[in-house]
A = this chain, B = another copy of it.
Amino acid sequence: MADLNIKDKSIESSFLSSALATEGHFRDLAEFHAWFRSRSEANTFKVAAIPFSEMVDWHFDPVSGNLVHKSGRFFSIEGLRVKTNFGGPKQWEQPIINQPEIGILGIVTKKFGGLRYFLMQAKMEPGNVNVLQISPTVQATKSNYTQVHQGLRPLFLDYFLDRSKARVLVDQLQSEQGARFLRKRNRNMIVEIEDEIDLPEDFCWLTLGQLKELLKIDNLVNMDARSVLSGIRYAAEGERPAELAGLNGFAKDLLVSMSDRRGGRHARTEIISWFTGLKAKYECSAESVPLKELTAWRRTPTEISHESNNFFSVMAVSVQAGNREVRSWAQPLVKQAAVGLVGFLVKKIDNVLHVLVQAKLEPGFLDLVEMMPTVCFSDVECLTRQKTLPPFAEKFMAPAPERIRYAAILSEEGGRFYHSQNKYMVVEAAETEEFKLPENYIWMTVAQLLEFGRYNNYLSIETRSLLSCLNLL
């Protein structure tokens, strides 16, 4: 490996300056939106629901009933039999997406005139409600870049594969939805380049501040981009950024919490002990079984769904796209009807902003439990499985407007989910309000949460999504 001695401080400081900049290559966001509209008009996308039997290259395996690609690669839809001592239901069966390969979600960054920019792509995904969203520079499965599907090689991929061409600023292995994916993980990377590049027409350079502003708009910045951006820190551990002096209100509280050195309400040793104790206590056996063995799920020519019509279903689509490596294909998607809720309750404790973190078990997690937002549920699940609202959910139902620090509806992975959306919220509780916490909840500073994000399988995708929305502007 290249012998770069990364100066963490200067990198983090450049992230922070970029997070405070809303003007850049696009003079303002109006100019961005005009560009984005033009990309949407220039490309033609057609996504249509089709029967499973019309999916080119996909079939149900005659023995297992699993839905598989003819190459044996990409992903498959299989069955999972779950037993656990955690939370609500103690055992169930469900279809699950098995995608064992580790792909790359990567953003190229470059400084122009001292200011850091991020190379983003206007990319279509068949499951997106609005088709086109802002995506990382590269989203590549291993099948993708080893050319299993004979498509074009993704642009800019070499910056992520070849250490001599770019400097790695962030490179973390991160999980995705444990309720839908069997131990899926992707490599989340940010790499800095010095090359001059020609900007292809579906790409643009944005400051971090501009990206943060775009994250306030419903369904614009996609899940993969949010996941990668969540790896950014504005300060090395214990460093107090000079920019603090220019901030007020929630932005100041946030940056204090992101650069806190004192360790917050609980020292890291204590948080690790809390998490270790829960991993020792909770048990989960998640056994892969043939899809056709799931007794409560039925398959029609167009969908696989639960006999109660709850939870989610599996469907098929055909896709035609102007700006993708492969221009037409068919694939399965997982469909979830309801809009879910993902929210952090935050509160100042001893003058430092803390977030209320939940340790939650999902059957597809590699390591049993991950750190999730305070609330994280689809309302179907909530209404049917649990019959009551989960802890703290009422804080998000009708919060006083002055307590809402963030709220937008964001899409989940449009390459696997059909029209899947969650309402993401950050709600601040009064400093005087006291909460009694169930055993699997704990208060942390944002700095503590970000530090866990550097290691595998600590922060869930929903936690990372919501972290990426935190905004100093």
Contact = CB atoms under 8 A, between A and B. Distances in A.
A454 B169 contact: no
B279 A454 contact: no
A456 interface: yes
Nearest to A161: B277
Given A276-B187, A456-B367, A267 B8 contact: yes
Given A6-B269, A172-B276, A456-B457, 15 more contacts: A1-B274, A1-B442, A4-B270, A8-B267, A101-B283, A102-B279, A142-B280, A168-B273, A171-B269, A171-B273, A172-B272, A268-B454, A366-B366, A366-B367, A367-B367
Given A102-B280, A367-B366, A170 B457 contact: no
Q: What is the oligomeric copy number?
A: 2
Contacts of A439: 1
A5 interface: yes
Interface of A: 1, 3-6, 8, 100-102, 104, 142, 168-173, 187, 237-238, 263, 265-270, 272-274, 276-277, 279-280, 283, 285, 366-367, 439, 442, 454-458
Contact of A279 (B104, B173, B269, B277): B173
A184 to B, nearest CB: 13
A190 to B, nearest CB: 10
A433 B58 CA distance: 56
14 contacts: A1-B442, A6-B270, A100-B285, A102-B279, A169-B269, A171-B273, A171-B276, A172-B272, A173-B276, A173-B280, A268-B454, A279-B456, A366-B367, A455-B458
B1 A272 contact: no
Contacts of A266: 5
